Structure 1
Amino acid sequence: MPIDPVEEFDPLKFPFIADEDNFHEYAEYVFEHLSSVVLPGWNAAIAQVNAKLPADLDTLTANLSGRYLRTVILTGAPGTYTPGLGCSRFRVRGCGAGGGGGGADGDTAETQGGCGGGGGAGAECEVWVTVGETVDYAYTLGGGGVGGAHNSSSGSSGGNTTFVSIGDGGAACSITLAGGGGGETVSDSNAAIASGGNGEIASVSGANAFPVILKEGDSGGVGWVITSADLAGDGLSVGGQGGASTFGEVEASRNTEGDGGSIAGFPADGFGVGGIGAAALGSATAVSGGDGGDGIIIIDEYA
């Protein structure tokens, strides 16, 4: 954008009060220079800038590609997502639901015990999606797996989280984040291990979907029991820790020791985390495993 150079100003003609002979002459020179050269030059430059700018700020910002617009968090019931005004692409982050922890059965024999493995974590992803002709997307959030009941049952698997473009059968975008598996259980045992639930995988397809991160969920921790009959001193039963998720906190595993006692598995703290397995020793009360965390989707929109 060319701007005419401002005419050179003579600094020797700057007026000083002490210079009584030339003060008025130099003051007139400075005033004349400002009014006839400097100000017109500034006005011309401003006019050139204004000519290149849109008429309003909204039009200007609308032309700035790649700027962040907003974040949308999807939880709860199934629904439909529609990108906001001006969105040309968005980032999808999310996870499937965590599996439930295994339950633990108290036994009538003082020398036996039970335990449950931790639930596996849901699969995770980070996917960029360009907005094409498809403008609506159906989503479901996986429900957390239920902890194994106190009758020594394994935890159930977490539900899948899905995000699919509408009207094209998912041709533009289809994301499935599988839920984690439920933790196993063992009962009526002197020494045994209950396996944790498996972490599952993420799958992405579609012409407008570009995966950056596809993370398999972490497996749940194993539960184990050794009774006093096989261990010098007191017995020990430990419920497996739930599989970890980027979208939640992992609670420490639960255990009971001595000749008897039981402790239920705690539910997951956050999204996608596996539930904690239960633990029981001797003729203790049977207890349930903890429930897994639900799935979640977080969308960041960009112009």
Structure 2
Amino acid sequence: MPQQRFARFAWSVLAYNILVILWGAYVRATGSGAGCGSHWPLCNGEVIPRAEEVETLVEFMHRTTSGLALLMVVGMLIWALRLFPKGHLARLGASWSMILIIVESLLGAGLVVFGLVAGNTSVARSLAGGIHLINTLLLLGAITLTAWWAGGGAAIRLRGQGSIGWMLGVAVLAVLGLGATGAMTALGDTLFPSDSLRAGLAQDFDPTAHFLVRLRVWHPLLAAATGVYLLVISQIIARQRPSREARMANLALLLLFLAQLGIGTINLVLMAPILLQIIHLLLADLVWVVLVVLSALALADDSAHAELIRR
């Protein structure tokens, strides 16, 4: 069916965007954000630069893959408008995906144009990085919902959901906030690396240290609290909204949380090597995608719940 082909394409758009995000993390971790100078969208004033430096190649590849991600979302929107009737939720999801990927591009351009890359340690850069990560998660959420609705997912109803509604609302805000602090923590790890765990902890609690260093201690605490909260509400949702899909989402959230906890601990002990930073971000993106799906399941209208329970 055309709708199922579109849904598979939308899931592939999601997967590709996650890969682009991970490459963006590699750009930040290697300090390659200034590889194209202050030029945008050109790279060092050229359409195809001569990559004499590794940083230029890394940044140019990120811009190229990001441009392809934009084209894929454009294609997804055009296909959705042609395939689905007016008022279909897949159209809404694709439209929001388009808006958010444009914002994503502008935020990335702003980082380059205003010099908020490489060794910049300003408050502006840390805030921009946090906002960039929040928009990234919203973009992934919009693409996820587009694929979900295209595959037959039910409409979301916010009114009359009781405790389930506000619990999920808190969860969404908590994960977005955690993502922002994670971006700042990763930036601090990149700009102010430590030789050992002991030296890193000493830096974290030094009142004279840079604010990005002092912020690093809060992210693991917020991550642990948020993870426990997600596990608790996922169990509540699984009982109040019983279905095979909800059970699968609940199990996926549990496994991802345990994996994230393990990788985060190793990341801390080994002083945040680049590979583990990227794996940590991948797991965070997957947690967010599962939370979006779980929210869509839990907040579906009553008739959709009845259909899910019968499965």
Would the TM-score normalized by the shorter structure come out above 0.5?
no
Q: Which has the larger radius of gyration?
A: 1
Q: Which of the two has greater helix per residue?
A: 2
Task: Kindly indicate whether structure 1 or structure 2 has the higher relative contact order, using CA contacts under 8 Å at least 6 residues apart.
Answer: 1
TM-score (normalised: structure 1): 0.28
